[in-house]
Amino acid sequence: MSLDYTAAEMMTVTAARALANGTTCFVGIGLPSEAANLARLTHAPEVVLIYESGTLQTKPNVLPLSIGDGELCETALTTVSVPEMFRYWLQGGHVDVGFLGTAQIDRYCNLNTTLIGDYREPKVRLPGGGGAPEIATNAGEVFITVKHSRRTFVEAVDFVTTVGFGRDGRARDGVPNIGRGPTRVITDLCVMKPDPETKELVVVSLHPGVTAEQVQEASGWEIRFAERLETTPEPGAEELNVLRELKARTARHHAGNETGAQA
């Protein structure tokens, strides 16, 4: 029997399922954090979550507002300095997956979280890269989760904050000692993966009820679709219940109505 769920829940559950149990994951704030913690609370209890502020194996009971949220430190196995986090853990090859979000993405998985518009006179200034450029370079692979719209999926990002495969798809060619880069993009419409040769994003799976035309309409370039296009499995009842309770608990906590505790 089909369950009722939103497009946002479909995206989060699909992204969570991408994380295998026992994986070490460097987590971004927002949608990546939501998906990673859903994975930890369901099928992947031994996933090791690392946040940019230096918290290792953190198990937040509520979703953090930022990397400086006290919930992360309080529920972590330990906390290390930011230089140690990046130099030893990330650059040392101890991170399996980097889980990132973005404001803009192009067909070669380049990400923009710096600004919208011209660099000298931007329409909007964004928070910046944070640790994303280093995560995308050094993690074993990178998952990206973002809502699908023409504003986000653009022909060319206004600024390359975080390199996926470069403007021509060849940025990683011949570069030693770096990770595989982006291996999947999960949106509220579909799942995309880079073509093994060209590195251009290809839709490999459509979420239930979503058409190829909808994906194209929400994208700023001519989208490629896999020859054998699959349908993404629907969320399960447990996944939805855990996700909804996590978000409700988070809302109560940040409204000052509940104290966080280790889960």
Catalytic annotation, residues:
52
3-state SS, residue 168: coil
CB proximity list for 33: less than 8 A, separation 6 or greater: 27, 63, 64, 99
Q: Which of 117, 173, 181 is nearest to 144 (CA)?
A: 181
- Pairing relationship of beta strands 224-231 and 104-105 according to DSSP bridges: unpaired
122-to-114, 117, 126, 225, 243 alpha-carbon distances in Å: 10, 5, 10, 33, 36
Distance CA 258, CA 176 (A): 48
